[in-house]
Structure 1
Amino acid sequence: MTSTTQVPQTTAGEVRRDGARPTAPDRRRPVRGRRVRRAANVFAVVTSLLWFFPIYWMISSALLPNEQFRSSTPVFVTTHPTAEHFAGVLGDERFWSAMTVSMQVTAISVVVAVSLAFLAAVAISRFRFRGRKAVIGCVLVIQMIPAEALFISQYKMLDGWGLLDNVVGLSVLYVGIIIPFNIWILKGFVDGVPQELEQAAMIDGCTRVQAFVRITLPLLGPGLVTGAIFATILAWNEYTLALVVMSDGNQTLPLWLQYFSGANQATNWGGIMAGSLLIALPVIALFMTVQTRMAAGLTAGAVKG
C-alpha cells in the first residue's frame, strides 16, 4: 500500500509545525508597477504637449487676422481664422524663386553627400587599409570645427572658383557639412550587417559586388533613408552659409523669410508663420512617406537559413 502524507493547511498568519511561516503573496508590486506606468504615461503626454505647442502656435498664428496680432493678450484659439497670410505668401514671386533655389540645392546636396558618405562608410567598415584610423580621426575632428570658423575660407574658395551666388557653390559647402556626420551614421549600419551574408552569397556563385548589391545593400536601406533625411533637413533649413554666399536676388527659403521683417517696417508675424509652415510641409511630407520604408528595409534582402 502506498501512504500519502498530507501537508497541513495554514493561513498566512499561522506558523507551520516545522516553525516556518508561509510566504504571503506580495500584492504591493502590481500596484506599484501600475503607478509607475501611470506616472510615465503622464510624463510622456506632458512632454509631447510641450513639443507640439510651438507647432500649434505657428499654425494658429498663421490663421490669425492682423487685428488680433496687435492684441495685448495672446490669442491661443482664434474664432475668425483667415487665409490672407497664406495667400500673400503664395502670391509672392520671391517665394517661388526661393523655393526653386532651395529644391535645387537640397537635391544636389542630398544625392552627392549620401552617395559619397555611403562609399566612404563601406570602405571604412569592410576594408582594413593603411591610414584607416587616420581617416576616422579626421572625420571626428571635422565634426568638432565650428561652422563659423570656416566662413572666410569658404567664401574665398568659392570666389576663386567663380561659384559665389551660385546653386552649385552653395551645394558644395552643404556636401562638405553633411558628409562627415553621414559617414558615422552609415558606418554604424554597415557594421551591423554581418559579412557572413556576403560570404554565403559568394559561395553560391555571386561575385563580391553582386553579393553586396543583392544582399547587403537592401539591408542598408534604413541607414540610407536616415542619412538622406538628415541631409535634407540640413540643406533645406540652413541659413548662415546661404546668407554669406547668396545674394538678395538668389536666395533660399530661410533667407526669403527676412522680407517679412526689417528696420523700417513692422514685423509681419502672420506672413512669417505662414511662410514657416509652408517651408516645413515638404520635409514633413518626406518623412511621413519614407518612415514605413525604413522598417521594410530591415528584412529586405535577407537570406533563408
Structure 2
Amino acid sequence: MRRKSIITALFTALAVAIAILWAFPVYWMFNSSMLPNVVLQSTTPTFLPFGGSLENFTAALADGKFLGALTISLTVTLSTVAAVLIIAFLGALAVSRFKFKGRKSFILALLLIQMLPAEGMFIAQYKMMSSVGMLNNIVGLTILYTAAVVPFTIWMLRGFVAGVPAELEEAAMVDGLSRTKAFLKITFPLLAPGLVASGVYAFLQAWNEFTVALVVMTEDQSRTLPLWLRGFVQASATRETDWGMVMAASMLVAVPVIIFFLIVQGKMSSGLVSGAVKG
C-alpha cells in the first residue's frame, strides 16, 4: 500500500507539472497584456503583473475595427456551427442507418477529402467566390467553412450514431411510437454528447481559422478577429509592435472561446450522464 501511495503521489505531481506547463502560455499572455511595452522589452522577464493596468485592453477596444470584426466572427462561427451540425447529422444518419449504392465510396471520400491540403484549394476557392460575387461576404465565408468542416464532422458523428442500437427505436415503435417520435425521444438524447463534441470542433475551426479568411476577406471592414489581430502584430513604418496591446487583443479574442467552453462543458457532462442512464 505504501508503494502504491508513492506511485500515486508521483503521478499526481507529474500531472500537476504538466498542467502548469500547459497553462503557463495562457497566464503569460494575460500577464503581458497588463504590462506596458517598455517592461515587456526588458531583458529581465516580469512574471507578475504588479503595477500593471488595463490600458492595453482599453487601447485594443478603442480600435474602431474591433466590434466589426467581433460581429463578423460571431456571425460566421455560429452560422457555421448550425449548418455543420444539421448537414453532418443527416449525413451520419444516412451512412450509419441506411444501405444505399455508393455508401462505401462516400465514406472513403470523406477520408480522402481530409487529406487534401487547404493551401491547394485557395486559388479555386478565391475564383469560385469571385465568380458568384461572394468575396468579402459573410455568407461566402460561412459556406467555405462549412464545406471544410462537414466531412470530418460526419465521420465523427457516424461513430456516435453507430453506437446507438437501432433496436431501441424498434422497441419504442412496438410500444406505439412512430419512427419520428421514437428517434426524437430515444435516439436523439443519446446522441447529444456527439452533437456537442461536433459543435465544439466546428466552433474552434471557424473561430480560429485565418488563411481562408485572409484569401476571401480582403477588405478592412470584412475582416474576422484573427485578421484584425494580425494588424496589431504587424509593425508599421512609424512604430514598432506593441506586444502588450497584442497580448490584450489576444485575450479579447480568447474570451468568447472560454465563455463557450464554460457553457458547453456542463451540457456535455449532463449529456453523457443522461445517455448512460437512458442506455
Q: TM-score range by the shorter chain?
A: over 0.9
Instruction: Give the conservation status (yes or no) of the 8 Å contact 1:216–1:301.
Output: no
Aligned alpha-carbon RMSD (Å) = 1.6
1:250 matched to 2:222: yes
Match of 1:136 in 2: 107
Q: TM-score w.r.t. structure 2 length? A: 0.95
1:276 matched to 2:247: no
Q: 1:295 to 1:92 in 2, by over 3 A?
A: same
Which residue of 256, 263, 271 corresponds with 1:289?
263
Match of 1:16 in 2: none
Determine the C-alpha separation between the residues in 1 that align with 2:67 and 2:128: 29
Match of 1:26 in 2: none
Determine the C-alpha separation between the residues in 2 that align with 1:148 and 1:115: 27
| C-alpha deviation, 1:53, in angstroms | 0.4
Match of 2:138 in 1: 167
1:57 matched to 2:28: yes
Match of 2:177 in 1: 206
Q: 1:246 to 1:36 in 2, by over 3 A?
A: same
Greater RCO (CA < 8 Å, at least 6 residues apart):
2
Match of 2:16 in 1: 45
| C-alpha deviation, 1:197, in angstroms | 0.9
Residue identity opposite 2:111 in structure 1: L
Residue correspondences, number = 276
SS of 2:272 mapped into structure 1: coil
Q: TM-score w.r.t. structure 1 length? A: 0.87
Match of 1:262 in 2: 235
1:102 matched to 2:76: no
| C-alpha deviation, 1:191, in angstroms | 1.2
More helix by share: 2
Which structure 2 residue ranges, 5 or more long, are not aligned? none
Q: 1:304 to 1:185 in 2, by over 3 A?
A: closer
Q: Give deviations 1:259-289, integer Å, cap 9, x for gaps.
A: 2122523111111111111111111111111
Which structure 1 residue ranges, 5 or more long, are not aligned? 1-29
| C-alpha deviation, 1:301, in angstroms | 7.2
Identity %: 49
**Greater Cα radius of gyration, structure 1 or 2:** 1
| C-alpha deviation, 1:296, in angstroms | 1.8
